[in-house]
Structure 1
Amino acid sequence: MPGLTDDKIALLKTLVAASPDEVVRGLEKAVCKEGTTGPLAAIGALVEAEAADRQVRFTTFQPLAPMFGPEAGDGRVTFPRAALGRIWQGLKADVPRLVEQAVEACYYIDPEEPWPAVFDTLCLQAASGLRAAETPDYVSAAAACDARRPGLSQTLVLALEIAPIVRPPLLRLGEWLQRMTNERRAVARLAYRDAEAVRQGGGPLMFEMLAAHLKQPWTILRIATSIMEHPGERYLAASELALFGDRALADIEAQVERVRHLRPGAGVEVALDAARAVQHAIDETGEFDQSVQLSRDGPWGQRLARLKHGLAAAVEVRLREIDEAVAQALPVVKVRYSGRLTSTAPKLDSPADEAAVAWAVGLLTFAAEIRNCATDGGFGGVRGKVLETIGQRIDHYVEDVLEQIRLGDIENDEIAREHLDVAARLLTLVRDRQAGAIVRRRAAAA
């Protein structure tokens, strides 16, 4: 590359090699966009070579590859990303011919056929090298693991040892989740026993490895309990697979807390996140109910019941806050007609309060997004009543503002129309886009 010395190119190669996968993918896209000629040609070739190398590495370590990343806060087994790179470098140094075979084998993978044995051979070779820790690459990988958690390097050794056992079930994971037949259950049970036979802890680690490939890791509970014929909670809680039940319950509790943390000033994104937490908690609760035979007086059964009640209560608190939030976003004032006769009218002497509007929009966004799970969550009735009341409130508000515009009682027409636009935004969330569009058309015609 013109203008760059060999030392600088070597430095770039080191930087690219140390970059996360998402950075390398971004660089690859950027280089492809700019073309492979000119001053970027050398960098493009470097990035493409690194991306291709990582693809072979991922394929080789596919059963455990998603486990390399940041430390999980929920207790899931993860390994430092740096350890993966060091192990791969160790394999290149120790068994370069096998690595070359893996590169070649990547061109001939058929998802419907058994994968080339070279990938499993490399996993076992990596396990042996990491266990011995005699070369700098393996020493560095082990040190990175143990720095995260003492003994984690031995967990990684075990994961590499059972990778050949996990790879075939991984290819059928979607089928197992969709429908666990007796035949599939037998295969899963056999794989679990084989993994446990390698070393104690291999069985649960197999499920950890499978869960790492799932968009919703807690759905692994469906497979883990199926090999035990959907056990009672006391039996499961006393088994080596109890951690999956405890983790699922802890995750549900975390979702409930996300709903409770929805506060004024949070914004629409936080409201959407809280709504996703509601759906997540309800889905996970249903999965737990179906996977485990719960007892009303059992520790898990009681805890799950408390979580269901806590979720419903947290959602209902947010729903009941909507009335006051809308009142602040669409303020009214008392008007005395004669004697003791009073009524309310839209307060149109000042612009809309942006903070109040944002809170009302956030809460109504939350209410709109939980529509599909409200019945299952036990708060469908409350949600329906709240939105019906709010819809009527906004209807009356709109009619009053339009009436004042028609009568010429408005001091500032621009402010009045700003409030109508707020009402349209809120009504869109309460009902639908058409309802908001009608308000805007009527405002334009007034």
Structure 2
Amino acid sequence: MESAPDKVVGGLQNALAAASGDSVLAGVRRLVETEVADRRLRNAVLSPIAPLCVAGIDKDHISFPPRVLALIWHGLKASCPAEVVRAERALADYRPDESSAEPFDILVTAAADALREREPRDFGAAADLADASRAGGAELLLSCLALAPIIREATLRLPDWISRTTEERAAAARLAYKDAVVISDDAGPASSRCWPPSSPSPGPSCASSRR
């Protein structure tokens, strides 16, 4: 079940929703619900890169094989169990733009460090798989992980930046872009490339639209 796409697991959950009692189907339902809860936590922690881990290669955006996401998450659960539990507790009461994302960002930082060292084994496998999918794939993945806290926060404000631009919101977009550049000289353009394919990037053109 671990290798099945989220859509398939979600479909199983819906199909088994009526199963109850001690039947075989009820047991399967509980397994599926456990998997769904685990993926919900995974996708919350790794939300800045989760949309990039899709089947196929998108020539216009950075993308990675879906297995990369599963390997990173498996590695985090094995190497940072206490931090994963803390993130799970934070998610239970999480309110976007109100709750602190620190428990999630701590795990993202741990993932980046482990991926850079290619240790433990799951992270080495994720790096190798990213490299196999495209030239310099592991470095691109590291760049996206480094930018994850900025992208996580910017994603919450993106609809307002795009649809109702004001001087204050344009300034916030410029600040997010500058924060990315602080990480690396080319991180501003990289943040545009790391942006999920379904979302418009708050890159220079958006950030400078009200200058």
Which SS does the other structure have where 2:18 is aligned? helix
- Corresponding position of 1:362: none
Do residues 17 (structure 1) and 2 (structure 2) align?
A: yes
Out of 46, 59, 62, the residue aligned to residue 77 of structure 1 is 62
Corresponding residue for 1:160?
145
Q: Counterpart in 1 of 2:183?
A: 198
Contact preservation (8 Å) 2:52, 2:196: no
- Tell me the equivalent position of 1:44: 29
> Percent identity, aligned pairs only?
35
What residue identity is the alignment partner of 1:29? N
The equivalent residue for 2:205 is 225
Q: Which runs of 5+ in 1 are unaligned?
A: 1-15, 232-446
> C-alpha separation between the residues in 2 aligned to 1:200 and 1:79?
23
Return the TM-score normalized by structure 2.
0.92
Contact (CA 8 Å) 2:9, 2:36: kept in 1 or not?
Answer: yes
Alignment of 1:345-364 (within 5 A): none
Kindly indicate whether the alpha-carbon contact (under 8 Å) linking 1:36 and 1:44 is maintained by their aligned counterparts in 2. Answer: no
Cα contact 1:162–1:195 (8 A) shared by 2: yes
1:8 match: none
Q: Does 1:98 align with 2:106?
A: no
1:216-365 matches, within 5 Å, as 219-220=200-201, 224-229=204-209
Would the aligned equivalents of 1:170 and 1:210 in 2 still touch at CA under 8 Å? no
Partner of 1:60: 45
Give the CA deviation at 1:33. Answer: 3.2
Distance in 1, matches of 2:198 and 2:82, equals 29
Deviation at 1:211, TM superposition (A): 4.4
CA shift digits 1:306-356 (9 cap, x unpaired): xxxxxxxxxxxxxxxxxxxxxxxxxxxxxxxxxxxxxxxxxxxxxxxxxxx
CA pair 154-199 structure 1, distance change in 2 beyond 3 A: same
Q: Give the counterpart of 2:124 among 119, 128, 139.
A: 139
Q: Verify: 1:175 aligned to 2:155, yes or no.
A: no
Runs of 4+ with deviation above 6 angstroms = none
More helix by share: 1
SS in 2 for 1:122: helix
For 1:91 and 1:186, how far apart are their aligned partners in 2? 35
Cα offset, 1:213, TM superposition: 4.4
Question: In 2, distance between residues paired with 1:188 and 1:230?
Answer: 10
Q: How many angstroms does 1:103 deviate by?
A: 0.8
Q: Tell me the amino acid that sits aligned with residue 220 of structure 1.
A: S
CA contact (8 A) 1:180 1:226 kept: no
Change (3 A) 1:73 1:65: closer
Q: CA deviation at 1:191?
A: 1.2
Q: CA deviation at 1:28?
A: 0.9
Distance (Å, rounded) in 1 between the aligned partners of 2:172 and 2:23? 54
CA offsets, 1:130-180, max 9 Å, x none?
001022101110111111002111111111111111111111111111122
Mapped to 1, the partners of 2:135 and 2:97 lie a distance apart of: 39
Q: Which has the higher contact order (CA 8 A, sep 6+)?
A: 2
Paired positions, count: 211
Shift of 1:113: 0.8
Give the AA of the match of 2:166. T
Could you tell me whether the CA contact under 8 Å between 1:69 and 1:78 is conserved in 2?
yes
- Which residue does 1:111 correspond to in 2? 96
SS of match in other structure, 2:2? helix
Task: State the superposition RMSD in angstroms.
Answer: 1.9
Residue 17 of structure 1: SS of its match in structure 2? coil
In 1: Cα distance, 2:208 partner to 2:45 partner: 31
Q: Is the Cα contact below 8 Å between 2:61 and 2:194 reproduced in 1?
A: no
CA distance in 2, matches of 1:40, 1:131: 42
Q: 1:208 aligns with which of 175, 178, 193?
A: 193
Separation in structure 2 between the aligned mates of residue 73 and residue 157 of structure 1, nearest angstrom? 18
Larger Rg: 1
Q: Distance in 1 between matches of 2:76 and 2:8?
A: 24
Q: Distance in 1 between matches of 2:47 and 2:21?
A: 30
Q: What is the CA–CA distance in structure 2 between the aligned matches of 1:34 and 1:93, rounded to whole Å? A: 32
State the one-letter code of the partner of 1:56. L
TM-score (norm 1): 0.45
